[in-house]
Amino acid sequence: MLNSISYFAKLVAELAKFPGVGQKTATRLAFFILTQPQEEAEALADTIRDLKRKVHFCPICFQMTESDPCQICADPRRDRNLLCIVEEPQDVLAIERSHAFKGQYHVLHGALSPLDGVGPEDLKIAELEERLQAGEIKEILIATNFSVKGETTALYLARLIKPRGLRVTRLAHGIPLGSDLEYIDQGTVGRAIEGRQEF
């Protein structure tokens, strides 16, 4: 009995590490798993194991992928002169849903946040500079969020990239200030890409 309680507590503790999940929610989730049929719970465990074994970040663009490099980086039809910079992997999904972008991506895995001490060295910015060094890229579309962190990152990147003589563009406005790309509808994202402006 004591053992079964400690297994339960262990799962609650693991689930409570998820972003935005507190003790209460973690307990509810653990209880849900406990009441599921055996196969369901094991399928969940297998899926988590497979995710960690098979999905990783693309060594070129840092998007999630099961292949190496990812499908977008490997696709010869995508424009190699045009690079779109986003904060998070889910932003690539948001832009792909709009079907308006035909270039390649670079995922920073975060945004500059002076108040939180998140600096350029915490993001995939050195890797971005390496890609630019290769010389194929002609235009950079900065698609960080329209929040203070996203704008800070955009300004930093523009300062870094412009001296290289590349064209630097930003998503057109129409995306309201303070919004995360993830939550914008695909039509608006598509229009913002087509109407991108010199930054």
Cβ-contact 189, 94 below 8 angstroms:
yes
- Judged by beta carbon distances under 5 to 8 A according to partner kind, the member of other proteins, Zn ion, none in contact with residue 93 is none
CB closer to other proteins out of 96 and 180: 180
Counting contacts by CB under 8 A, is residue 93 touching other proteins?
A: no
Radius of gyration of the chain (CA): 20
Q: Which of 180, 186, 188, 191 binds other proteins (CB under 8 A)?
A: 180
Cα torsion through 152, 155, 161, 165, rounded to 10: 170
Compute how many residues bind Zn ion; rule: CB under 5 A: 6
CA distance 149 to 137: 25
From the list 36-44, 59-67, 113-121, 171-179, the region that binds Zn ion by CB under 5 A is 59-67
Choose which of 24, 54, 102, 159 interacts with other proteins (CB under 8 A). Answer: 159
Q: Does 27 bind other proteins (CB under 8 A)?
A: no
Report d(CA 98, CA 113) in Å as an integer: 28
Site string for Zn ion, 67-86 (x = CB under 5 A): --xx--x-------------
The number of beta carbons lying within 10 Å of the beta carbon of residue 61 is 25
Q: Which is nearer to other proteins, 120 or 190 (CB)?
A: 120
Residue 87 C-beta: closest distance to Zn ion, Å: 16
* Dist CA 25 CA 14 (whole Å): 12
* Block residue for tokens 């790309």: 181
**Pair of tokens at residue 86:** 């986003």
Binding residues for Zn ion (CB under 5 A) = 58, 60-61, 69-70, 73
